[in-house]
DNA sequence: GTTATTTTGCTGTCCAGGACAGGAAAGTTC
DNA sequence: GAACTTTCCTGTCCTGGACAGCAAAATAAC
C-alpha cells in the first residue's frame, strides 16, 4: 500500500479515467439519443441481447443500481414495447426480462452507434496502439471491479455517517 | 475512415471505455459522498481550485452541461457555502464563481479521495504499466475531445429528428 | 407444520442532473 | 437608436440514484 508512489508526469491515472469517462459518456449518450434510448436503457438491452432473458435482480447487479431503479428502467422499456416480462417458472417471486422483436430491431442501430464511436475513438490509432489501449483499459477495469465487488477491504464503506452537506438547492 | 478495421480479441475499445467509465464513476461517486459532494459539484470545485474564479459560461463548457444546469449546481454549492459569486467587473452580464474558505477546506478531503482511488486503480501496476495506461487514456481522451469540440464533421449532429421513444414511464 | 428470516420485486419519496423553452439584462454591431 | 448576441435565470419535463416501506414467495429453523 504505497499510497503516494511517484507522481506521473501526466497527472494521476484516475483523473484521466474520470475525464475520459465523462466525455465518453456524454458523446455516447448523444449518439444513443438518435435511437430514443437513454444510456441505462441501452445497457440493459445489451445485457439481454448478450445473455438472453435475465432476472431483474441480476440486471440490477450488472447495472450497479438497486432493484427500485431497475424496476423503473424495465417499466419504461416495457411501455415502449422493447422488452417483455414473464414470470420465472422456477421462482414465482422473480420476473424474467427479455427483449421483444421490437427491442431486437434496435440492435442494428445500437451496433452502428458503437461502430461509429469506435471509429471516432480509435480510428487514428494503429492496431498495436489499439491493443495496448485495450489491455490497459481491461486491467484498470479489473482493478476497479475488484474494489467494487470484493470491497470492504480498503474501502471505508462509504455512506456511513456521511452527512449530505449540499442539498435542497 | 476504415469503419471496420479488424476485430480486437478483447472486444471493442469503446465498450471497454464504457464499462470502465461506469464502474469508475460509480466508485468515485460513492467515495465523494463521504464529503457530501455530488460528482458534478466536485468537478466544478476542482476547476475553481485549479484555475481560480471562473465565469459560469466557462464552467458550463468544461462541465459539458448547459447554462441552466450550471446555474443550479452553482446555486447548491453557494447555498452550502462552498462557493461565492461576484459580478464580473469587466462584463456586468457575467458572474464570477470562486471557492470560499469553506470550499477550500474540502480540498484535502477531495485529494484524499483521489489518492485512494488512484491506489485502488493502479496500485498493483508497475510505473511503466501506469505510464502506458496513462498514455493510452490521454490519447483516447484527445480523440473523443476532438470529436466533441470539432464535431459536426463525422457526427450526424445527434438530436436532429430524434424521436424520444421511451418516455413517461 | 408452523414460524422466522431472507430474497425479490414494487411503490413512494426526495434529490441531482440533463435538456429544452422562454425571458431579462448587458454588451456588441450596424 | 435598432437589431442582434451573449450571459444568466427560471420553469418544466424527464431519467436516474438512494432510501424506506411493503407484499409475496422461497428458505431456514424449530
Residues of chain B neighbouring A64 (CB-CB closer than 8 A): 22-23, 26
The SS3 of residue B98 is: strand
**Are B17 and A22 contacting, i.e. CB atoms less than 8 angstroms apart?**
no
Give the fold, CATH level 3, of A38-117.
Arc Repressor Mutant, subunit A (1.10.10)
Nearest to A78 by CA among A49, A46, A45, A120: A45
Distance of CA A45 to the CA centre of its chain: 11
Extract the C-alpha cell encoding B155: 457526427
Task: Work out if A91's Cβ lies within 7 angstroms of strand C.
Answer: yes
How far apart are the CA of B56 and the nearest CA of chain A, in angstroms?
17
Chain B residue with the nearest C-alpha to that of A22: B21
> Between A and B, how many residue pairs show a Cβ–Cβ distance under 8 A?
263
Q: Are A35 and A82 in contact (CB under 8 A)?
A: no
Can you give the residue ranges of every domain in chain B? Answer: 38-117
* Element holding B84 (H helix, E strand): strand B83-87
Cell 511503466 identifies what position?
Answer: B128
pTM reported for the whole predicted model: 0.83
Cβ <8 Å between B133 and A139: yes
Mean pLDDT, range A80-101, rounded to an integer: 94
Check CB contact under 8 Å for B166 and A41.
Answer: yes
Mapping DSSP onto H, E and C, the string for chain A reads: CCCCCCCCCCCCHHHHHHHHHHHHHHHHHHHHHCCCCCHHHHHHHHHHHHHCCEEHHHHHHHHCCCHHHHHHHHHHHHHCCCEEEEECCCCCCCEEEEECHHHHCCHHHHHHHHHHHHHHHHCCCCHHHHHHHHHHHHHHHHHHHHHHHHCCCCCCCCCCCCCCCCCCC
Rounded Cα distance between B57 and B69, Å, is 11
Q: Tell me the chain B residues in contact with residue A152 when contact means C-beta distances shorter than 8 Å.
A: none
Taking an 8 Å cut-off on Cβ atoms, the answer to whether B119 and A144 are in contact is: no
Chain B residues within 8 A of A6 when measuring between CB atoms: 127
Chain D bases closer than 7 A to any CB of the protein: 6-21, 24-27
Residue A26 has pLDDT above 80, yes or no: yes
Q: How far is B87 from chain A (nearest CA, A)?
A: 21
The whole-number average pLDDT for the span B90-119 is: 94
| Average pLDDT value for chain A | 84
**Does at least one atom of strand C sit less than 7 Å from the CB of A25?**
no
Is residue A77 within 8 Å of residue A103, measured between CB atoms? Answer: yes
Q: What is the mean pLDDT of residues B126-133?
A: 91
pLDDT value at residue A124 = 87
The phi-psi region of residue B38 (left if phi > 0; otherwise alpha if psi is between -120 and 50; otherwise beta) is beta
For range A131-155, the mean pLDDT: 77
pLDDT in tens, B1-49: 544 556 766 678 999 999 999 999 999 999 999 899 999 999 999 999 9
Residue A1, number of CB atoms within 10 A of its CB: 5
Q: How, if at all, do strands B95-99 and A95-99 pair?
A: unpaired
Looking at the DSSP bridge assignments, the partners of residue B83 are B99
Q: Do B23 and A159 touch (CB under 8 A)?
A: no
Amino acid at each position: 500500500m504505497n499510497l503516494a508512489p511517484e507522481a506521473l508526469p501526466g497527472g494521476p491515472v484516475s483523473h484521466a479515467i474520470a475525464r475520459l469517462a465523462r466525455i465518453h459518456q456524454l458523446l455516447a449518450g448523444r449518439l444513443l439519443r438518435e435511437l430514443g434510448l437513454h444510456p441505462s436503457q441501452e445497457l440493459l438491452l445489451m445485457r439481454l441481447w448478450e445473455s438472453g432473458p435475465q432476472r431483474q435482480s441480476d440486471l440490477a447487479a450488472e447495472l450497479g443500481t438497486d432493484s427500485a431503479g431497475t424496476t423503473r428502467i424495465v417499466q419504461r422499456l416495457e411501455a415502449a414495447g422493447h422488452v417483455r416480462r414473464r414470470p420465472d417458472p422456477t421462482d414465482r417471486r422473480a420476473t424474467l426480462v427479455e427483449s421483444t422483436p421490437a427491442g431486437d430491431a434496435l440492435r442494428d442501430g445500437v451496433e452502428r452507434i458503437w461502430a461509429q464511436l469506435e471509429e471516432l475513438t480509435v480510428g487514428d490509432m494503429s492496431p498495436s496502439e489499439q491493443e495496448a489501449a485495450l489491455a490497459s483499459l481491461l486491467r484498470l477495469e479489473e482493478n476497479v471491479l475488484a474494489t467494487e465487488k470484493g470491497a470492504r477491504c480498503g474501502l471505508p464503506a462509504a455512506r456511513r455517517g456521511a452527512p449530505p452537506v449540499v442539498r435542497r438547492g
